[in-house]
Structure 1
Amino acid sequence: MDGLPASISDTVRAYLARVDGQGSGLITGLYLVGSIALGDYREGISDIDFIALVPAELDAVRLEGLARVHAEMAALGSPFFDGVYVTPDRLTRMPGEVEHATFCVEGDFRPNARCFEINPAAWACLARHGITVRGSEPSQLGIATDPGFMRRLQIGNLHSYWMSWIAQAEAALARKRSDEDMAGSSFSWGVLGVTRIARTVATGDIVSKSEAGRWALQTYPPEWRPVIEDALLARDGRVDRVSLDRFAKSLEYMRFVISQAGETC
């Protein structure tokens, strides 16, 4: 864990102490993915994302142990330590559109539940950028890759999850008074979320939200530059609130990005 911020190293050590305290061999591999692996971790903003390997399907006793571990981790406060538990053989198969697994999201431990964190992009991130804390290097894990399948699923995600997100955001905007504003975090989440997927659809690369934003500045028409720049500022924690007009413009941008990605199907 050399070179990682102290907050990350301390959190990982706290997790390992707790998980190993549940009995030896509970996890055989631990890999950091997400913003840390992609060089975009933001202190006080980002979560710590992981993929953990378990030697066999988790039984009731081990699930109870992991539930205790994540309850204790959540009690420590931010950053969240979120990730999925899979057997090594699962990494050798491409994830489908619907997956179930044991995982933790925003401190909430969910055993054997539908898991959106298992997807082709997550596998690609681990294979290309994963940081090894315990276990074999990602290159030795036989991680399944299928760029074409990943691209199709990403486009589907834009037209399903993200179009629904936009519709909900538009409804929230309509309920606002003219003197109100919107959270910068939601603004950044939407703008950079669709942009990152669009970058993957266009190039096959797995990149951070910030890198996707910088790519968008060079790729999309100049009229969208203010929206993208504000999203990058919000990503850095330098924009806390945005006006209703600016948020509405961000939704226009998101629709534009999705329409462009759709044209490349």
Structure 2
Amino acid sequence: MLTPGEYLSFLDARLPGLVAGAHVYGSRVLDDVVPDSDLDIVIELSAAAEVPPLEGADVAVVLAGSLEKSVFEVTPLSGEVTPVLWQQLRTVGQTVRGARPSCPGTAAEVEAYCRDNLVSYWKVDFDRFRDVLPTLRPETVIPNAALLWVGLGPARLWHTIRTGEIVSKSRAGELAAARWPDLPVLDLVAVRRGADLPLTVAHAAASLELFDRILADVTT
């Protein structure tokens, strides 16, 4: 598993003197590291340059000083920046090079982003699946990675909309399972944490039902 130090050594060898700041977020700071977890990191460069890709690193690149501005004023050099990212960096993010950033923003901006993302991103995908679901056999095993993404991602947004807190995928699954115990959400959490449990189309159908309940819960 790639460490921040290894990644910075990789960058320094290819972009000597340009990496002014580095800030870790995601599973590494939310106590949710699993064997295939990427290193989620924001890199600040002192001048514009192309950051070479490295397997195991999920990177957003900005110019130095960008993290002291509103996210809406920042155009990243690569990757994506969002109000949710800014909140992570200013609350639980770990600075491994440079000064800790202020990442100014408001709870209202984070909530608005999460609400929009539920509809503009997740609802589009789930509506496509809704059309395909009747053609699939419930017992058919499907790839874990895809199902964990769609099954746990909306639950994170749901919790942030309700509370303002940003939690990991696993924690979001636990919270959604406590709210809707009739759905097999804990199966997804267990598989994310390494359990040898087959996930099937039935789990995908439950993820669709969970999404519908989440959408109803945050719009009523």
TM-score by length of 1: 0.75
Q: Does 1:221 align with 2:212?
A: no
After superposition, what is the alpha-carbon deviation per residue over 1:146-195, rounded to whole angstroms, capped at 9, x for unaligned? 11111011101111101012123334434535663322322221221111
After superposition, what is the alpha-carbon deviation per residue over 1:230-255, rounded to whole angstroms, capped at 9, x for unaligned? 11112113255323233212211111
8 Å CA contact 1:192, 1:210 repeated in 2: yes
C-alpha distance in structure 2 between counterparts of 1:88 and 1:48, whole Å: 20
2:46 aligned residue:
55
Q: Structure 2: any 5+ residue segments left out of the alignment? A: none
C-alpha distance in structure 2 between counterparts of 1:16 and 1:257, whole Å: 39
1:201 aligned residue:
161
Aligned match of 1:93 in 56, 60, 69?
Answer: 69
1:4 aligned residue:
none
Q: Does 1:212 align with 2:178?
A: no
**CA, structure 1 residues 150+233, in 2 after alignment: closer, same or farther (shift >3 Å)?**
same
Q: Does 1:102 align with 2:61?
A: no
Q: Does 1:154 align with 2:114?
A: yes
Q: How does 1:168-247 map to 2 (within 5 A)?
A: 168-176=128-136, 180-218=140-178, 220-224=179-183, 227-239=184-196, 241-247=198-204
Q: Does 1:134 align with 2:93?
A: no
Q: Does 1:124 align with 2:87?
A: yes
C-alpha distance in structure 2 between counterparts of 1:196 and 1:178, whole Å: 26
8 Å CA contact 2:63, 2:76 repeated in 1: no
**CA, structure 1 residues 156+99, in 2 after alignment: closer, same or farther (shift >3 Å)?**
farther
After superposition, what is the alpha-carbon deviation per residue over 1:77-116, rounded to whole angstroms, capped at 9, x for unaligned? xxx11111112432233334x975233xxxxxxxxxxx4x
8 Å CA contact 2:22, 2:42 repeated in 1: yes
Aligned match of 1:254 in 203, 206, 211?
Answer: 211
C-alpha distance in structure 1 between counterparts of 2:138 and 2:152, whole Å: 25
Q: How many residues align?
A: 220
C-alpha distance in structure 2 between counterparts of 1:257 and 1:237, whole Å: 26
8 Å CA contact 2:176, 2:185 repeated in 1: yes
Equivalent position amino acid for 1:82 in 2: D
**CA, structure 1 residues 134+255, in 2 after alignment: closer, same or farther (shift >3 Å)?**
same
**CA, structure 1 residues 261+94, in 2 after alignment: closer, same or farther (shift >3 Å)?**
farther
8 Å CA contact 1:33, 1:50 repeated in 2: yes
**CA, structure 1 residues 23+235, in 2 after alignment: closer, same or farther (shift >3 Å)?**
closer
Q: Does 1:36 align with 2:28?
A: yes
Equivalent position amino acid for 1:126 in 2: L
Equivalent position amino acid for 1:257 in 2: I
Which deviates further from its counterpart, 186-195 or 18-27? 18-27
C-alpha distance in structure 2 between counterparts of 1:30 and 1:241, whole Å: 38
Q: CA deviation at 1:32?
A: 1.1
- Runs of at least 4 residues of structure 1 off by over 4 A? none
C-alpha distance in structure 2 between counterparts of 1:259 and 1:204, whole Å: 18
Partner SS, residue 17 of structure 1: helix
Equivalent position amino acid for 1:32 in 2: V
